[in-house]
């Protein structure tokens, strides 16, 4: 009896490492693709919000789920490379953000579910068939950027009552940016503003574009795009040098010296993206999970930049801001 038990124990011990490795291989996996950043530290509040919510839902990195991180640094070709890598790694779900990145990932795989943590117009850009029934392998949270352009311009008008000419910096190779520019133009017409379009395709075109509007525009609207995000510090420095108050996409731009932003709360969007990941990992189909729209918006003002530009922010506007950076 003891001999049989000893042999059984030896057999179990011999097979344990292989069994453990097999168990590790069965761990669900997430591919997180940072599109306009080069490291986790540049993600700001986004990645921590995603991970915190995943933990709350029972997905603990290294224990109940594996996470593969990649950082594209605003380079479109890297997004496609990493998407192909995720395909080889056979991750269970990919999480990314920004319309160009989601489109690029979707071109690589039609099988792996893609959760977008914020795209401006998923229906208009063809990422989903409808908000209620996405119909493909992508779903997530819409940033509603095209729906809030008018609100942004109204806030900017409160800071600059004499505003008549607005420059719009946009990457015209980005479907999202083109749609956003059209919405801005429509909102500008309603406010009787003249639009000066600054169309770029590469980062090295940013400086020449801003040189063109020196002394012509009274403010600068920066569209949402990975190129803009990757070069937000340079854009803000150039804008201040050109005496152009900036209306920027979200919090990170304001922290980098932009004047103001009004946008969906980034932490909230990424927390909600984690809910989508949870559903996918528990067996739901991306095609059947409705796209959500944001309910929480953040209004930020950089008072230091306002002072540098010689602007006085109305106290009533400061009181309405969610955050004032000094």
Checking DSSP bridges between strand 29-34 and strand 66-71, what pairing results, if any? Answer: parallel
Q: Which CATH class is domain 2-142+265-295?
A: alpha beta
If one compares 92 and 72, the residue with the highest pLDDT of the two is 92
Longest dimension (CA), the chain: 95
**Paired strand residues for 138:** 114
Indicate the pLDDT class of residue 36, thresholds 50, 70 and 90.
confident
Q: Residue 66: how many CB atoms within 10 A of its CB?
A: 18
Identical fold, 2-142+265-295 and 146-264+298-325: yes
CA angle 220, 183, 291 (to 5 degrees): 115
Q: Is the pLDDT of residue 22 over 90?
A: no
Indicate the pLDDT class of residue 223, thresholds 50, 70 and 90.
very high
pLDDT in tens, 274-315: 999 999 999 999 999 999 999 899 999 999 999 999 999 999
CA-CA-CA-CA torsion sign (117, 119, 124, 125):
negative
Q: CA–CA separation, 81 vs 110, rounded Å?
A: 16
Contact by Cβ (8 Å): 266, 47: no
For 5-47, the DSSP string reads: HHHHHHHHHHHHHHHHHHHHHTS-EEEEEESS-SSGGGGTTHH
pTM of the model: 0.79
Phi, psi of 194 (to 5 degrees): -90, 130
Pick the CATH number of 146-264+298-325 from 3.40.50.2300, 2.40.160.10, 3.10.290.10, 3.10.20.30: 3.40.50.2300
When mean pLDDT is compared across 75-89, 122-136, 171-185, the lowest value belongs to 171-185
When mean pLDDT is compared across 141-145, 212-216, 236-240, the lowest value belongs to 141-145
Indicate the pLDDT class of residue 229, thresholds 50, 70 and 90.
confident
Over pLDDT 90: what percentage of the chain?
73
Q: CA–CA separation, 272 vs 280, rounded Å?
A: 13
State residue 205's pLDDT score. Answer: 97
Q: Is the pLDDT of residue 90 over 90?
A: yes
When mean pLDDT is compared across 30-34, 121-125, 195-199, 307-311, the lowest value belongs to 121-125
Indicate the pLDDT class of residue 17, thresholds 50, 70 and 90.
very low
Please give the structure tokens belonging to residue 163. Answer: 């505003």
| 23-32, 173-182, 263-272 — most confident range | 263-272
Please give the structure tokens belonging to residue 90. Answer: 């056979």
DSSP label at residue 229: H
State residue 158's pLDDT score. Answer: 95
3-state secondary structure 224-271: CCHHHHHCHHHHHHHHHHCCCCEEECCHHHHHCCCCEEEEECHHHHHH
State residue 2's pLDDT score. Answer: 45
In the chain, what are the domain boundaries? 2-142+265-295, 146-264+298-325
pLDDT average, residue stretch 19-40: 73
Contact by Cβ (8 Å): 313, 272: no
Radius of gyration of the CA atoms of the chain, in A: 23
Nearest to 200 by CA among 185, 213, 183: 213
DSSP label at residue 295: -
Indicate the pLDDT class of residue 139, thresholds 50, 70 and 90.
very high
Q: CA–CA separation, 251 vs 212, rounded Å?
A: 27
Length of the chain: 326
Q: Is the pLDDT of residue 14 over 50?
A: no
For 105-135, the DSSP string reads: HHHH-SSS-EEEEEES-TTTTTS-S-SS---
State residue 145's pLDDT score. Answer: 61
Q: CA–CA separation, 213 vs 18, rounded Å?
A: 65
State residue 77's pLDDT score. Answer: 87
Q: CA–CA separation, 126 vs 128, rounded Å?
A: 5
Q: CA–CA separation, 171 vs 131, rounded Å?
A: 25
């Amino acid at each position: 009896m003891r001999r049989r038990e000893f042999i059984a124990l030896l057999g179990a011990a011999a097979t344990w490492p292989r069994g453990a490795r097999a168990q590790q291989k069965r761990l669900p996996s997430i591919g997180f693709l940072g599109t306009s950043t080069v490291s986790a530290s540049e993600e700001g509040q986004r990645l921590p919000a995603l991970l915190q919510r995943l933990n709350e839902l029972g997905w603990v990195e290294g224990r109940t789920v594996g996470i593969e991180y990649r950082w594209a640094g605003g380079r479109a070709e890297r997004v496609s490379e990493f998407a192909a890598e995720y395909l080889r790694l056979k991750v269970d779900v990919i999480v990314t953000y920004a319309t160009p990145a989601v489109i690029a990932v979707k071109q690589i795989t039609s099988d792996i579910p893609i959760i977008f943590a914020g795209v401006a117009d998923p229906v208009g850009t063809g990422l989903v068939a409808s908000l209620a029934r996405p119909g493909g392998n992508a779903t997530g949270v819409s940033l509603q950027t095209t729906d809030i352009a008018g609100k942004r311009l109204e806030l900017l008008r409160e800071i600059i009552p004499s505003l008549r000419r607005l420059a719009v910096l946009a990457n015209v190779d980005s479907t999202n940016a083109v749609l956003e520019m059209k919405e801005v133009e429509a909102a500008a017409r309603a406010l009787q503003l003249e639009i000066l379009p600054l169309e770029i395709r590469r980062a090295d075109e940013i400086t020449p574009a801003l040189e063109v509007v020196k002394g012509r525009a009274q403010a600068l609207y920066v569209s949402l795009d990975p190129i803009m995000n990757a070069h937000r510090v340079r854009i803000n420095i150039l804008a201040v040098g050109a005496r152009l108050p900036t209306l920027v996409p979200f919090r990170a731009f304001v922290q980098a010296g932009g004047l103001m932003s009004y946008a969906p709360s980034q932490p909230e969007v990424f927390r909600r993206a984690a809910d989508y990941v949870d559903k996918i990992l528990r067996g739901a189909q991306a095609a059947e999970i409705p796209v959500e729209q944001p309910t929480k918006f953040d209004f930020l003002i950089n008072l230091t930049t306002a002072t540098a530009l010689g602007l006085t922010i109305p106290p009533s506007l400061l009181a309405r801001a969610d955050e004032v950076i000094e």
